[in-house]
């Protein structure tokens, strides 16, 4: 469906089916298909939690993926790491560079040849009740079978109400594979995702 710039109409003009189908219908469909960010999938963890969230059969029609999470962990810790694998690859094929800071310090935490990508952190069981933390991760060219994949993500973590209980993180991850990404598996570095943790996956068109 191609875009056709709509014509101005005047009072008394006859709007035929062809005009209607092109101006509003096809053009809106074109915008939806090509310019909008489309929701692919979203899930909320139920009672009992989840050891991991495994999204399979990801459509290969987008230019980039955007993963948004809002999570809490069940581990007896204030914070845990949010890890990600592509295509269920658990080999040491991930490299990352991470910077994290709070009100008094800044940690640089690069690592190579890891078994998963490290896209963020989130509050766990010893953190303030009902607090959940957000993370956003963009995966461009995920369907391109000719290039190794790279992601950029950031997350914010809060596990208490003191100023020192908040940290932020920027992470850059690299996957040593040119395979098109069809599957994303998210999991915490320890224990499970708590109930009400949510994951949203969107696709961006590559226009």
Of the candidates 48, 50, 56, 4, the residue with the CA atom closest to the CA atom of residue 29:
4
Token pair of 54 as six digits: 């495994």
Q: Which residues make Cβ contacts (< 8 Å) with residue 106, sequence separation at least 6? A: 99, 100
Alpha-carbon Rg of the chain, whole angstroms?
A: 21
Instruction: Please choose, out of 5-13, 17-25, 136-144, 183-191, the segment that lies near another protein by the rule CB under 8 A.
Output: 183-191
> Of 15 and 113, which has the nearer Cβ to another protein?
113
- Size of the residue set binding another protein (CB under 8 A): 40
Alpha-carbon separation of residue 73 from 32, 54, 127 (angstroms): 35, 16, 9
Instruction: Please choose, out of 2-10, 40-48, 135-143, 147-155, the segment that lies near another protein by the rule CB under 8 A.
Output: 40-48
Q: How many CB atoms lie within 10 A of CB 121?
A: 27
> Of 15 and 111, which has the nearer Cβ to another protein?
111
Site residues for another protein, 46-105, by CB under 8 A, read 48-59, 74-75, 77, 79-81, 83, 90, 100, 102, 104-105
User: Which residues of this chain interact with another protein, rule CB under 8 A?
Assistant: 40-41, 43, 45, 48-59, 74-75, 77, 79-81, 83, 90, 100, 102, 104-107, 109, 115-116, 187, 189-193, 201
């Amino acid at each position: 469906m191609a875009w056709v710039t709509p014509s101005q109409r005047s009072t008394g003009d006859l709007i035929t089916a062809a005009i209607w189908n092109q101006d509003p219908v096809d053009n809106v469909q074109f915008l939806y298909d090509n310019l909008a960010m489309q929701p692919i999938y979203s899930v909320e963890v139920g009672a009992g939690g989840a050891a991991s969230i495994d999204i399979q059969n990801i459509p290969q029609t987008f230019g980039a993926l955007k993963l948004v999470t809002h999570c809490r962990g069940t581990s007896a810790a204030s914070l845990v790491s949010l890890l990600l694998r592509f295509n269920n690859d658990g080999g040491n094929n991930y490299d990352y560079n991470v910077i994290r800071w709070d009100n008094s310090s800044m940690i640089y935490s690069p690592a190579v040849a890891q078994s998963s990508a490290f896209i963020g952190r989130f509050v766990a069981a010893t953190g303030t009740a009902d607090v959940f933390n957000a993370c956003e991760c963009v995966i461009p060219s995920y369907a391109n079978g000719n290039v190794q994949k790279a992601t950029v993500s950031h997350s914010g973590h809060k596990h208490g109400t003191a100023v020192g209980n908040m940290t932020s993180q920027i992470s850059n991850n690299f996957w040593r594979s040119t395979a098109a990404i069809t599957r994303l598996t998210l999991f915490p570095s320890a224990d499970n995702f708590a109930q009400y943790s949510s994951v949203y996956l969107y696709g961006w068109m590559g226009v």
